[in-house]
Structure formats: C-alpha cells, structure tokens
Amino acid sequence: MMVSTKGRYALRVIIDLAQHKDEGYVSLKSISERQKISLKYLEMIAASLNRAGLVQSQRGKEGGYMLTKPAAEYTVGAVLRAAEGDLAPVSCLDCGENTCERADSCITLPMWQRLDGLINGYLDSVSIEDMLKGEL
Amino acid sequence: MMVSTKGRYALRVIIDLAQHKDEGYVSLKSISERQKISLKYLEMIAASLNRAGLVQSQRGKEGGYMLTKPAAEYTVGAVLRAAEGDLAPVSCLDCGENTCERADSCITLPMWQRLDGLINGYLDSVSIEDMLKGEL
DNA sequence: ATAATTCCTATGATATAACTGGGAATAGCG
DNA sequence: CGCTATTCCCAGTTATATCATAGGAATTAT
C-alpha cells in the first residue's frame, strides 16, 4: 500500500476544512466527530499539515485550524506528501536517495522512475477543489 | 511503499530466467548466487510465480525453473501481482472489496480509482522484454 | 544409493502503521 | 482572575506486515 490511513485522513482533513472554510477556525474535535477519526490521531496529522504550511492553527478556546489558501491551490500530491513523506512506489526511489549498489546496472530502474513520475504527475494534477466539485 | 522486496525480487527472477532461457531448467541456487538473494527467500517467491503459472518447475537433480512463454508476453504488472497480490495504492481498492461504508459518499474514491487504473495500466504496458532491450 | 533440487510448513526478527495517554502551553470568555 | 476549550509535544502501546530463516519431506537425474 502506497498511501496509508495517515495520508487518506490528511486528505479528509483538508477537504473538511475546505467545506467549512467560512466558519473561522475549525476545531479538531468537530472534524473528529464528522469524520469519525480519533481526536488524538487527528492531532498528529494536523501537526504534519501545519509543519508543511498547508494549514494555520490558533491555540486556545475558539481555536482550531483553517486553510492557508483557496481549495483550488491544494493538490492531492502535496497533501499526501505532507502527511506520508515520499510517495515513491518502491524503496529504491525513496527520498531521491539511490543507495542501491546495483543502480547503474539495474534494468528495472527506468521503469520504476517512469512509474513514480506518472503517479506524482497525476496526484499533482488533481486539486481538492476538483474533488469537491466532482470534476474528475 | 506499494511494491516490496518480494515483488522486486520476483521481477529479478523472471528477468534472470529470461536471460538464461536457453539453458534448460535454472536452479534457484544459481539465481541466488547471481542475484544475491537468499535461497530460502527465493523458494517462497518461486512458489508464488509457479502457482500463478508464470514459471514451470522440475524437481530433483538437474531441476529448476523455466519460463512458460516468451519474455515479450510477461508484463511487469502480471509478475508483481503474482508475487504481491493486489497492487492497489490504497486499501480502499484492495481486491475489489469495497468494504468502506462511506464509499458511496466518498469524494476521493474516483481519484483513487483513476490512480489505480493509471498504475496498473502502465505496469501492464511494460514487458520483460522491453526492459531487457532497454526500450523504455 | 547419492546428491541436488523443489516443495511445505512453521518460526522469528525487525520495521512500520495505527493508534493511545498524559500533560504543558495558550487563549477566549464570563 | 479562573475556567474551559483548544493546540502542542513527546512518549508509549498494540497490531500488522515485511523480510526473511529453519528443518525436513518429496522427487529425480546420474
């Protein structure tokens, strides 16, 4: 599995925030109830999104999270990478580090690289707004 | 990671068999030495490929494995699926079982389905012979 | 018979995923 | 000021998957 629950949940968080973007800061508690994801797990995911600058937070009472830009400017790829790290389909391609000693002679490497390009290209071409509008 | 060592090794086994297709049955011991993969691990992988009908085996002395068809007729997708099971990028799509109770209302599902189609389409379009020839 | 092989089942070791828990820091509100 | 709702931080836990390894039975050419 290339994308775990962490990434899928992150996507749902961003979508939820987009759907409630006119309500000021949205608390994780409310997202937790709507999305049926535990508050504690959401905290971890929100922290990743925050670190990546995809959301902004407000602490204290009446606090929560909101998007930092319009939904059209979020790509699925960017959200998943913020939550999951790299989206490489094989470890050979992870983080650009090509530590495999047989890389030079590996006849499968070009195939993996093309696959990786295909996956990232597609995920970066789909925006959150596309999904909200059902435009796929 | 979508493709683990099991799948990558399976690919290397098929490639190795293709490279030695004129030498009769090829033993796992020889593949093990060439590919630097433990014999015991190879046994598991070869068993999967055998069950899927991608290779045929001969037991006993002078035994081993050989391909059941020309290299051009093996796709990367078929080999990986034989070794790994499903290649779905998210568990939602695994094995066609869509047990997610929010599937009907899930606005991300069409995106995952397209991604899955893209990945499998590409992997099924590349043959072992393509890689051997460096035609990518 | 012997040696080389596949075949079968079980076990262990390590890593990753998927959460859970406790509590500190912050900020609005009465 | 005191209360409460929230994010923030870090650590611990459990479950599952990955990556093998181990031992031995069955088979077959020589």
DSSP H helical ranges for A1-136: 5-19, 28-35, 39-51, 76-84, 109-123, 128-132
Q: Under a CB-based contact definition with an 8 Å cutoff, are residues A129 and A71 in contact? A: yes
Kindly report the pTM of this predicted structure: 0.94
Task: Compute and round to an integer the Cα radius of gyration of chain B.
Answer: 17
CB within 8 Å: B114 and A136: yes
Considering CB atoms only, which of B8, B89, B91 is closest to A90? B8
Other Cβ atoms within 10 Å of B124 Cβ, number: 15
Q: Please indicate whether, in this complex, the C-beta atoms of B114 and A123 are within 8 angstroms of each other.
A: no
Question: Does the pLDDT value for residue A136 go beyond 90?
Answer: no
Q: Say yes or no: Cβ of A5 under 7 A from any atom of strand C.
A: yes
* Per-residue pLDDT at A25: 98
Domain boundaries of chain A, sorted by first residue: 5-133
Q: What is the pLDDT of residues B77-90, one digit of tens each?
A: 999 999 999 999 99
Yes or no, beta carbons of A111 and B118 under 8 Å apart: no
Q: What is the dihedral of CA B93, B97, B102, B107, to 10 degrees?
A: 30
Bases of chain C with protein Cβ within 7 A: 2-10, 17-22, 25-29
pLDDT digits (tens, 9 = 90+) for A8-29: 999 999 999 999 999 999 999 9
CB of B64 within 7 Å of some strand C atom? yes
Q: What is the number of CB-based contacts under 8 A between chain A and chain B?
A: 77
| 3.10.20.30, 3.40.50.720, 3.40.50.800, 1.10.10.10: CATH of B5-133 | 1.10.10.10
Concatenating the DSSP letter of every residue in A25-53 gives SB-HHHHHHHHT--HHHHHHHHHHHHHTT
Sign of CA dihedral B46, B50, B55, B58: positive
Question: What is residue B103's predicted lDDT score, i.e. its pLDDT?
Answer: 65
Higher-pLDDT residue of B105, A102: B105
Mean pLDDT along residues A32-53: 98
Tokens of A16: 């939820």
A72 Cβ nearer than 7 Å to chain D strand:
no
Identify the pLDDT of residue B94: 77
User: What pLDDT is recorded for position B66?
Assistant: 98
Residue pointed to by tokens 């030498």: B23
Per-residue model confidence (pLDDT) at position A10: 98
pLDDT (0 to 100) of residue B135:
73
Express each pLDDT in B36-68 by its tens digit.
999 999 999 999 999 999 999 999 999 999 999
pLDDT at B31 over 90: yes
Q: What is the pLDDT of residues B60-76, one digit of tens each?
A: 999 999 999 999 999 99
* Tens digits of residue pLDDT in A81-120: 999 999 999 998 875 555 676 666 789 999 999 999 999 9
What does the alpha-carbon distance between residue A126 and residue A131 come to, in Å, rounded to a whole number? 8
